[in-house]
Amino acid sequence: MKLICIGRNYAAHIDELNNERPKEPVVFIKPDSAILPKEQDFYIPDFTDNVHYEVEVLVKIKKVGKHIAKEFAPNYYDEIGLGIDFTARDVQQELKSKGLPWEKAKGFDGAAVVGKWMHKNKYENIDKLGFSLLKNGEIVQNGHTSLMLWKIDELIAYVSTYFMLKKGDILFTGTPAGVGRVVANDYLEGRIGEEAFFALNVR
């Protein structure tokens, strides 16, 4: 399986990193080896001094599809989740400045936190979900899916024109503003509404 990730999908986050607003979604892939095993601590790799958390709403693909029209996208997922796209920001900045791919900054072991899953029917409208990340008990990121530049069904239509989606693939839908650094002994908790979807320690 693969993790298909969207960058620059919230205007306020684009501005905080001084990036340009894209005309199309920014897409990158993480390998399945990037998934942090359940209940395991996140270890900051020694090739970076600046790992950032990015909390993101996740969508689990339930069947094979390609060239999926936006109006049929809901047939391809039932479950919504929450996770972290950990990013070695220093490595990424260097790669970006050279015009090189980001994989070393975003695809390393443990760089993808995948929390629990919830059936989409639990929510009235998945384009109106509030979600947050708490670091050591304080809210550091507050997002709302209504603020996505491209909504979930548009993202599925877009990415499926390039990549065949397969059962079990996970879409990371981009992070809102408020990204920041983690250090050893930080404790991160992600929530949709008031409900916790994941919690982990940083080492």
- Which residues of the chain form contacts with Zn ion (CB under 5 A)? 54, 85, 175
**In whole angstroms, how close is the CB of 170 to Zn ion at the nearest point?**
13
**In whole angstroms, how close is the CB of 27 to Zn ion at the nearest point?**
11
Residue 90: φ, ψ to 5°: -65, -40
**In whole angstroms, how close is the CB of 83 to Zn ion at the nearest point?**
10
Choice between 84 and 126, CB closer to Zn ion? 84
Choice between 112 and 126, CB closer to Zn ion? 112
**In whole angstroms, how close is the CB of 123 to Zn ion at the nearest point?**
22
Q: How far apart are CA 33 and CA 108, in angstroms?
A: 8
Q: How far apart are CA 132 and CA 184, in angstroms?
A: 21
3 state SS of 28: strand
Long-range own/partner contacts, residues 96-103 (CB < 8 A, 24 or more apart): 101/28, 102/28, 103/28, 103/30
Nearest residue to Zn ion on Cβ basis: 85
**In whole angstroms, how close is the CB of 84 to Zn ion at the nearest point?**
9
Residue 45: φ, ψ to 5°: -65, 155
**In whole angstroms, how close is the CB of 54 to Zn ion at the nearest point?**
4
Are residues 187 and 136 in contact, defined by beta-carbon separation less than 8 angstroms? yes
Tokens of 71: 């109006």
Choice between 28 and 72, CB closer to Zn ion? 28
Choice between 54 and 189, CB closer to Zn ion? 54
Q: How far apart are CA 110 and CA 21, in angstroms?
A: 28
Tokens 């996140």 found at: 42
Choice between 74 and 147, CB closer to Zn ion? 147
Q: What is the DSSP string of 154-189?
A: HHHHHHTTTS-B-TT-EEE----S--EE--TT-EEE
Choice between 32 and 64, CB closer to Zn ion? 32
